Copies of this chain bind each other. A is one copy, B any other.
Amino acid sequence: MPYDAHVRTWTCIDGTWRPGELDGGPRWYDLSGADRDGLLELASRYGLHPLAIEDCLSPYLHTPKIDDFGSYLFIVVLAMKPGTVEPILEELDVFLGPGFLITYRDDPATAPEIDGVVRALEQGLAVRPGTDGLFYEVLDRVVDSFLPRVSAMSEQLDALADLVLEGDRDGGLSQRVLEMRRTAGSVRRTMAPLLGVVLRFGRGELSLVQPSNVIYFRDVYDHLLRVDLALEELRDDAEVALNTYLSTLNNKMNEVMKVLAVVGALALPATVITGIFGTNFDEIPGLHSNYGFAVMVTAMVAMAASMAYFFHRRGWF
């Protein structure tokens, strides 16, 4: 057994996939970064190009692509890392030949949807025929896992937007909305070339894909389009939430300014008037009158009231 214990192998005999490396049919090898030697062994057995192997082993995230090496395709696909709040895209590398399918991930936790395919094979469920059909089963599940993640993000944003409307005072709110908008844009941008990759499968232009399987890849493409649209909606919703937040802030500041104006209007003339009658001049009109004080207070109230009325009429409060 030349492979690491982690390498899962399946062989298709008479249209049914059976566990293990058997004779007489196409095979599926499922590897991860823990099976480096297995990958190198497969590379030499099937003559896989060193640049493709380099792409697998490199820790950087690659842009999705199809490299056509004549007798097999090297396909870079994206999968979402499970268990994170914000979607993180990871690389899923695929070698697809008429006689073999190799799926490779750096981290075995990436693309747990592959385990779903394994379980389906174990239960003897029917899958699309051929190695291209098996690749479809993997791709379909990986892509199906995207929309729920985007929906979850969308619901988070809705919750934040509700906090915004309730006038939440937490200063970090707008920042979290900004982050979500950025994430949505970044995921969309990173995923864009995947649309092109899947479209090539769904247009029947790859000779390795059987005609009856083409429409199935086209179905995956439809799902990807929906994810793309949902991400664009998310960016738009974040935009609205941010603008609402800023306009709420602006409104509040406005209200504060108005109250300051009114309080100032009520107080300042009063201050001046009491100041006048508080000076120590020998002769100040009215100081010795019986009604002097009452007139002064009345005048103060009247001035405040008329200023308040003036401000109100201008629509300030």
Contacts and interface: CB of A to CB of B under 8 A. Distances in A.
Interface of A: 49, 51, 54-55, 60-63, 65, 67, 69, 147, 165, 167, 169, 171, 174-175, 178-179, 182, 185-186, 189-190, 215-216, 218-219, 222, 225-226, 229, 232-233, 236-237, 239-240, 242-244, 246-261, 263-288, 290, 292-293, 296-297, 300, 311, 314-316
Contact of A293 (B232, B250, B279): B279
A182 B240 contact: yes
Contacts of A171: 247-248, 251
B263 A264 contact: yes
Contacts of A182: 236-237, 239-240
A195 to B, nearest CB: 12
B270 A275 contact: yes
Q: How many copies does the complex hold?
A: 5
A268 B261 contact: no
A167 B175 CA distance: 13
Residue from A55, A248, A274, A315 with most neighbouring chain B CB atoms (10 Å): A274
Contacts of A256: 257-258, 261, 316
A77 B174 CA distance: 38
Contact of A268 (B61, B185, B239, B267): B267
A229 B63 contact: yes
Nearest to A291: B283
Contact of A280 (B264, B267, B287): B287
Nearest to A165: B175
A293 B314 contact: no
A176 B186 CA distance: 23
Contacts of A251: 171, 249
